[in-house]
């Protein structure tokens, strides 16, 4: 499936800002089953400098500096991408949880794709015993890593309510967990915390969802915005597999990968600082358009 994605971010300041620095994480990083075919980044006003960097996780970062007085910033990221992702076949043997834990601890790789960086607590996805206790019965009843991840994914979809007004970007995962309400970011963090408690490497993925569903299919929750799901390391033989707890489905050809990190802080589409005491407002619009008939 081929897609065109347009992501527009507009920041308006209540007074002129004289200096601002931002990190943009909008250009899709390389990932299996996906090929970036074109990319365009427009920034208004034109920044003093834009420096492209990669890492430290699976992420492309553009660092920009504005050094002239401005009352607004408009960032337009537009790209086309081809997604052809293989999903695990039904009935394919998957390693047990003890096997995955053992393989992850034995792995000595330190690259952004190796499991070590996603085993332990991170700034947002810390260790939360309350979430671990909730997850214990779901995980204990599973005989494989895919079964455990699937059980958690379906539990979140069935027991939590998608509510875009319930949380903000900086709401701690425990608050969304206790309220049983939130958005894809919250659900991904809850699932990551649960898996890491039991020694399973889990990563936060930022990306997009197909906006227009195929004929006869329901519209996916989280479309028309950036989306988040969980990559679970399923052992040496299977590697990383994406689980979308918001929609209770594996991350397949409806999911467009942008970046992967330990939690949202590593892959936030835009963050930064500015000099000034005024307030700011941010508006974001996303359009994902299938290009195939």
Task: Give the model confidence (pLDDT) of 10-42 as tens digits.
Answer: 999 988 888 999 999 999 999 999 999 999 999
Q: Whole-number mean pLDDT of the chain? A: 92
Sheet strands side by side (includes 226-233): 249-250, 240-244, 226-233, 202-209, 255-261
In the predicted model, what is the mean pLDDT of residues 215-226? 68
Per the CB < 8 A criterion, the answer to whether 94 and 145 are in contact is yes
Asked if residue 211 has pLDDT above 90, the reply is: no
Instruction: Report residue 92's pLDDT band, with 50, 70 and 90 as the boundaries.
Output: low
What's the pLDDT score for residue 210? 87
Distances (CA, A) of 230 to 21, 179, 195, 206, 264: 29, 21, 10, 9, 11
Give the residue among 274, 293, 81, 118 at the shortest CA–CA distance from 204: 118
Burial class (CB within 10 angstroms; exposed 0-12, middle 13-18, buried 19+) of 245: buried
Task: Give the model confidence (pLDDT) of 134-144 as tens digits.
Answer: 999 888 877 79
Count, residues in the chain: 293
**Entry pTM:** 0.94
What's the pLDDT score for residue 149? 96
Supply angle C-alpha 98, 101, 103, rounded to 5: 105
Task: Give the model confidence (pLDDT) of 142-196 as tens digits.
Answer: 779 999 999 999 999 999 999 999 999 999 999 999 999 999 999 999 999 999 9
What's the pLDDT score for residue 214? 63
What is the tally of helices (H) and strands (E) in the chain? 6, 15
């Amino acid at each position: 499936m081929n897609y065109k994605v347009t992501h527009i971010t507009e920041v308006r300041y209540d007074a002129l800002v004289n200096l601002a620095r931002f990190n943009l994480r909008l250009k899709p990083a390389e990932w299996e089953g996906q090929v970036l075919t074109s990319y365009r980044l427009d920034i208004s006003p034109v920044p003093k400098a834009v420096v492209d960097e990669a890492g430290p996780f699976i992420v492309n970062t553009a660092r920009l500096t504005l050094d002239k007085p401005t009352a607004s910033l408009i960032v337009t990221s537009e790209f086309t991408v081809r997604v052809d992702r293989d999903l695990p076949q039904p009935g394919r043997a998957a390693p047990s949880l003890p096997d995955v834990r053992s393989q992850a601890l034995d792995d000595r790789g330190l690259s952004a794709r190796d499991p070590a960086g996603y085993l332990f607590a991170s700034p947002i996805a810390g260790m939360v015993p309350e979430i671990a206790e909730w997850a214990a019965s779901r995980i204990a009843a599973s005989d494989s890593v895919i079964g455990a991840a699937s059980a958690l994914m379906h539990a979140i979809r069935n027991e939590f309510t998608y509510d875009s007004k319930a949380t903000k970007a900086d709401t701690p995962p425990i608050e969304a967990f206790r309220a049983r309400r939130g958005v894809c970011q919250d659900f991904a963090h809850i699932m990551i915390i649960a898996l890491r408690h039991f020694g399973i490497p889990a990563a936060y993925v930022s990306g997009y969802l197909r906006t227009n569903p195929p004929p006869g299919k329901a519209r996916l929750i989280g479309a028309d915005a950036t989306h988040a799901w969980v990559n679970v390391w399923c052992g040496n033989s299977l590697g990383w597999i994406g689980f979308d707890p918001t929609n209770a489905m594996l991350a397949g050809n409806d999911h467009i990968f942008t970046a992967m990190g330990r939690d949202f802080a590593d892959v936030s589409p835009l963050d930064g600082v500015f000099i000034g005491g005024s307030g700011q407002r941010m508006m974001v619009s996303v359009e994902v358009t299938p290009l195939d008939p």
